[in-house]
A and B are shown apart, each in its own frame.
Chain A
């Protein structure tokens, strides 16, 4: 009996520093993620043009052009995407209501038959418009949607990045975990690696050409997603950033989706 107790005690004592260290890495990871999230918020509303360049495994290419309007709300963010090319889907639009705490909702507008469809949650983990980005990679998720653990610091270019592991809380996410490189200077997300349900490395995301808009909003002008399993990649080029357009929530209703242009 005494032996068992001693052993238990020994284990408990041995675990103490580990427990504390664990709590530390969780807290630091959370703080870093929160700082990175804060960099993307406070913009009120925005409109930006997006060009997607898709590169297939044997080098074939395709491109898509769309416009993205966003609005910050008390509980999250609304986005409305309107497609311009390919021309057979011109006029299609996707409305998303993304929430910090609740389930996201999405509606798709099909102009040929003037139909609005509410689409399922897992559609956001599939390839978006045939690209290597899933919808959940494209619209920066709120930091509340993951749990975190700080791993280590590492040089990233001329900067120092903190590597944070994040695990999606959403059971419909297509990933088991992600590793995020957040720079120590501006707290911008420079790189993300994604691990699939079999725990193997699926994709690497890199953001570059950061520009500061309106003197405060840092945004990357180029994003790249490389899929290691199928050897395809997608480049996103963000242009014509506009902030403070005076959009309001009426511009993000199902009625607004019907008249999106």
Chain B
């Protein structure tokens, strides 16, 4: 009885002495797949998610403490259940630098197609393959900045694995990734301290970032783990698995070095965008780039609508061996902003693979329902790719031409209802 009273007292003291701000979001997330999964997964997946953002400063923001927990529960896929601390950090600001210590999220980059330079946080891949949701990363970040230059230095304290969909989850490979079998190149495994830095230069119309990273890769190399006793042989060659046996994929996290560039040039309604990286380490050194433009027609045909045109090219020097499906692709997109009371927005895009002609269509619409409520609808359609491979084919004769093949049956509609407090 005494503890809650003390806590209340402390909270009361905090609010009296400084500034306290609490807000958050509760959401319902319904995904409907028109087809059963390639491995028999169900068609309706419902998830509930919640997030809170607590902020407290005793001295007008010169020191600030943030705490942002995140929770998600999924009806079908227990691997999608997640309790995470997105942020638990102390920010100290003085006239020479900012020091940010704790679990935080950092975003780098300018393009819409891929997130090439963005490397600080691990991705919550189970949330959605587009990689917008990230996991909190423990760090110390020293930032020295003025109006035209900002230098950020990072000590990244430990490595986190991404989340992966489980056996009952959709949008996955024919084999399930087993994070318990993960291996790290570093002898300190996931406890290695990694280094990163970024310099941002603002000289209108140029907005340039140069970044470097040295440490454990965020993106794992996946290799099947096969029990030899479960293999079937023909003429001494393995050709299949014993009935009912499905191997798993083990993630391996190599040590890498990465140099990144992100640049935006702003010319009125026209934005030129570039992200490029060079990475050393892992299976193969490579470079990748994502470049293009965004042009906005403000007040389309004399209306209050804005129409944005997106055009980006995506390139990865590894070609078919790339760990992403976007090795030689073109993105074409339209962003329609209604500028109405409900802040209605529509984003439609298609990514076309110039070699295999696979196409990934997407349509996202969102609007506010009432103060505190918003709704989003998302359609994703995968076209031009053959039916998914079986686990056996995926292991013995992997298809490198059709990168989206494992997702061929995973077109879906997603409805998100959110309540903000």
Q: Which of B212-220, B276-284, B367-375 lies at the interface?
A: B367-375
Q: What's the Cα separation between A85 and B373 when bound, in Å?
A: 12
| Chain B proximity mask over A30-61: 1 for CB below 8 Å, otherwise 0 | 00000000000000000000000010100010
| Chain B proximity mask over A120-164: 1 for CB below 8 Å, otherwise 0 | 111101110110000000000000000000000000000000000
Instruction: Find chain B residues with CB under 8 A from A204 CB.
Output: none
- Min CB distance, B404 to chain A, in Å? 24
Number of interface residues of B (CB under 8 A): 54
B105 within 8 A of A: yes
Let me know if A126 and B298 touch, CB within 8 A. Answer: yes
- Min CB distance, A178 to chain B, in Å? 17
Q: What's the Cα separation between A105 and B267 when bound, in Å?
A: 11
Q: Which of A5-13, A14-22, A181-189, A247-255 lies at the interface?
A: A247-255
Let me know if B147 and A56 touch, CB within 8 A. Answer: no
Let me know if A130 and B340 touch, CB within 8 A. Answer: yes
Let me know if B339 and A126 touch, CB within 8 A. Answer: yes
Let me know if A120 and B296 touch, CB within 8 A. Answer: yes
Let me know if A255 and B150 touch, CB within 8 A. Answer: yes
Let me know if B150 and A120 touch, CB within 8 A. Answer: no
Instruction: Find chain B residues with CB under 8 A from A199 CB.
Output: none
Interchain CB contact (< 8 A) of B270 among A54, A103, A120, A261: A120
- Min CB distance, B144 to chain A, in Å? 9
How many pairs of residues, A versus B, come closer than 8 Å at their CB atoms? 116
Let me know if A118 and B298 touch, CB within 8 A. Answer: no
Q: Which of B4-12, B74-82, B200-208, B237-245 lies at the interface?
A: B200-208
Let me know if A255 and B298 touch, CB within 8 A. Answer: no
- Min CB distance, B92 to chain A, in Å? 11
A27 within 8 A of B: no
Let me know if B341 and A54 touch, CB within 8 A. Answer: yes
Interchain CB contact (< 8 A) of A122 among B57, B264, B296, B421: B296
Q: What's the Cα separation between A208 and B61 when bound, in Å?
A: 34
Let me know if A172 and B299 touch, CB within 8 A. Answer: no
Instruction: Find chain A residues with CB under 8 A from B271 CB.
Output: 118, 120
Let me know if B298 and A125 touch, CB within 8 A. Answer: yes
A2 within 8 A of B: no
A3 within 8 A of B: no
Let me know if B107 and A115 touch, CB within 8 A. Answer: yes
- Min CB distance, B296 to chain A, in Å? 6
Interchain CB contact (< 8 A) of B372 among A88, A198, A259: A88
Instruction: Find chain A residues with CB under 8 A from B306 CB.
Output: 126
Let me know if A261 and B268 touch, CB within 8 A. Answer: no
B98 within 8 A of A: yes
Let me know if A123 and B147 touch, CB within 8 A. Answer: no
Instruction: Find chain A residues with CB under 8 A from B270 CB.
Output: 120
Instruction: Find chain A residues with CB under 8 A from B317 CB.
Output: none
**CB nearest neighbor in A for B200:** A254
- Min CB distance, B77 to chain A, in Å? 23
Instruction: Find chain B residues with CB under 8 A from A97 CB.
Output: 147
B234 within 8 A of A: no
Q: Jot down 26 A-B pairs with beta carbons below 8 A, ordered by A.
A: A63-B371, A86-B372, A87-B421, A88-B373, A90-B23, A91-B53, A103-B205, A105-B202, A105-B266, A111-B53, A113-B105, A118-B207, A118-B266, A120-B270, A120-B271, A122-B268, A122-B298, A126-B337, A126-B339, A249-B147, A253-B147, A254-B150, A255-B145, A259-B93, A261-B61, A261-B64
What 7 A-B pairs are tightest by C-beta distance, nearest first? Answer: A87-B420, A127-B339, A62-B341, A115-B107, A122-B298, A122-B269, A88-B374
